Structure 1
C-alpha cells in the first residue's frame, strides 16, 4: 500500500487575480507564510460537463449523464512521472477550494508559479512570430520541430536544474518524450516558453507545464473502463496523435518525440533514451496507486497505457533515424 497524495485545501489562502485565457476558471492563490506550500500557486478546477441526450433518451425521460473530466489527476500524475524522468516541470499538487460565486466546493490542481520573482515570461508563440510572419498559433502553422530549435538557438536550459548548462532545445526534446509517454496532445506554442533574468538579461527555457489533457483525462471513467474491458488500451495508445505541430494533419506523439530527439545533440539523445528505458514501472504504478478517487479500471487503464507507450518509445528509439 502507498500513501495517497494530499489534496490541499485552499481555505485561508489569499485569493489573487484570475488567469486570462483558456476555458478554465483559473485563479492565483498565495499560501500563508506558515504553510509548507509557501508561495504563489495557480489553481485550475477540473471541468464538469452535462452531456447532451439523444432525442429518444429525452423522450424516455432519462437523466443527463455528467462527465467529470480528470485534468486534476492528470496534472498531478504527469508531474510525478516527469520527476521520474528527471524532466523539469512545474510543481503540482491536487487541491480544493470553496468557489465564492457559487459557494460550492470544487476540486482541481494547483501549480507553483515557475517564474522567479520579477523574471519575464515569453511564450513560444511570441518567439516563433518574431521569426515567421506567417506563424499562426491557432492553426499551429509554423510550430515545427525545426522552428522551435531555431527559436531556442543560444538559449540555455531551465535555471536551478541539472540542465542549466544544456541547450534549451536538448531539454525541450525531453518534454516531447514526456508528452509521448503520457499521451499529452496539447503542447502548443503557448504551452512552452522562456524566462528572462531582469538583472543579467540571461534567457533560459521554462519548465514543462500544463499536462491536463494527458492520460485520456477528458474521456470519462466509463470510456476508459470500456477500453480496458475490450482490451483496446494498446489500440488507443497506437492512435496517440497531436495537431499542435506542423499546422496540418495530426502527427503521432511518438513520431514528434523521436524527430525532436534526432534533432537534439548526441548527449541529449543518449540521456533521454536512457531515462525512458530505465524508468522503474513499479514506481510509476505507485504514482497511479497514490492518486485518490480513481476507479480500479481507470487505474488499470493508466498502468497499461504507461507500459505500452514506454514500449512504443523504446522500439522507436532503437530504430535508426533516416
Structure 2
C-alpha cells in the first residue's frame, strides 16, 4: 500500500497576513504543530504543488539545507505550506538587496530575466567576509564555506531543471542584533520537472523520446555576462561553477550518485493521484534520470 504524502487542510479563516513577494497568492498563518507557516496557492493546471514537494524531498536526499514543504488545501484549492525557516531574532535578506549593496546601480526592484543577475556577481556576494553556512545544518565533510553549499544548490537546479533561482530566491539569514550573516537554505523550486507542460505534450515527448532535448534547453535565472541576451542553461551554470570549485562540486556529485533511483521514483508515487497525472509522474522521473546521467558524466573532468 502506497504511503502517500499527507495533505494538510488549512481552515478557511487561517490567513493572518498576505505575502506580497512573488507572483502567486500566498499568506502566512499559524499551524498548531508547525508554527508560523506560508501557504502558497497552486495555480490551475500548473503542478506548482507537487513540483515544490518533490524538489524539497530531492534536496533532502542530497543532504542540502532546504525549506520543508507539505501538500495542503485551503478553501478546496490545492497548494503547499512551508514552515518559516527563520529562527528567533533573525531576518532574511534577499539576493536583490545583497547585490544592491555590492553594486549601487543594481536594479533590485526589477524581476526575472535581469541581465545584471550574473553568476559572477552572485559568487562575489557569496565570498562576503564572515558569511557562514546555513543555521541549524551540519555541513558535509569538505563543505566548509557558504559558497561550497551554494554549489550544491546549483547542482539541485541542474538536476531538476529549476529555472527560478532569481535574485529573490536566494539570500542570507542574518542573526540579530549582531548582524552575523548565514547562507539561507535553498527554497522556492516549483518551476521545475516540466510541471508547466500539458499532458498531451508530455505524452508526445515520452513517445518520441525527446525528453533529453527538452532538458537540454532548460534555462536558469543567471546570465553569464551583463551584455548577454539569453539566460544561461541550468546545466551550464553548474558546469561553470564546478570548474571553479571542483572539490565542492565533486562532493555534491558524489551525493547525487548515492541517491538510489528507486528512492526518486518512490517520491513521485507518494504524491496522491489527485495532484499529479501518470504522465507528469513518468515525465518528471525520466527528466531526473537524464539530468543525473549528464551531471555524473562531469565527474571525470573534475578529478
TM-score exceeds 0.5: yes
Cα deviation for residue 150 of structure 1 reads 1.5
Judged with a 3 Å threshold, the aligned counterparts in structure 2 of structure 1 residues 276 and 12 are, in CA distance, closer, same or farther, namely same
Contact 1:70 1:220 in 2 (8 A): no
Contact 2:62 2:256 in 1 (8 A): yes
How far did residue 289 of structure 1 move? 0.8
Q: Which one has the largest radius of gyration?
A: 1
Match of 1:277 in 2: 257
Cα distance in 1 for partners of 2:171, 2:241 equals: 16
Task: Give the conservation status (yes or no) of the 8 Å contact 1:30–1:40.
Answer: yes
Stretches of structure 2 that go unaligned for 5 or more consecutive residues are none
| Cα distance in structure 2, aligned partners of 1:12 and 1:39 | 17
Q: Is the 8 A contact 2:250 2:302 kept in 1?
A: no
- 1:160 equivalent in alignment to 2:127: no
1:13–1:30 CA contact under 8 A, matched in 2: no
Deviation digits for residues 221-251 of structure 1 (CA, Å, limit 9, x no counterpart): 3322222122211221122222433353132
Q: 1:312 aligns with which of 291, 294, 298?
A: 294
Root-mean-square deviation over aligned CA pairs: 2.0
Indicate the SS of the match to 1:242: coil
TM-score (structure 1 length as normaliser): 0.85
CA contact (8 A) 2:12 2:74 kept: no
Residue 269 of structure 1, CA deviation = 2.5
Question: CA 1:25–1:117 in structure 2 vs 1: closer, same or farther (change >3 Å)?
Answer: same
Partner of 1:60: none
Give the 3-state SS of the residue equivalent to 1:161 in structure 2. coil
Matching of residue 116 in structure 1 with residue 90 in structure 2: no
Where does 1:212-251 land on structure 2 (aligned, <5 Å)? 212-246=190-224, 247=226, 248=228, 249-251=230-232
- Once the two structures are superposed, what CA deviation does each residue of 1:66-99 show, in whole Å capped at 9, x if it has no partner? xx1101000000000000000111010000011x
CA apart distance, 1:166: 2.5
Matched, 1:82 2:63: no
The equivalent residue for 1:55 is none
1:170-194, CA deviations, whole angstroms, 9 ceiling, x for partnerless residues? 1111101000000100111110000
CA offset digits 1:120-163 (Å, max 9, x no partner): 11111111111123433534233222212221223111011012
Note if 1:45 corresponds to 2:41: yes
| Range 11-20 or range 293-302, more displaced | 11-20
Shift >6 Å, 4+ stretches: none
Instruction: Give, in whole Å, the separation in 1 of the partners of 2:270 and 2:64.
Output: 20
| 3-state SS in 2 of match to 1:159 | coil
Match of 2:282 among 300, 303, 311: 300
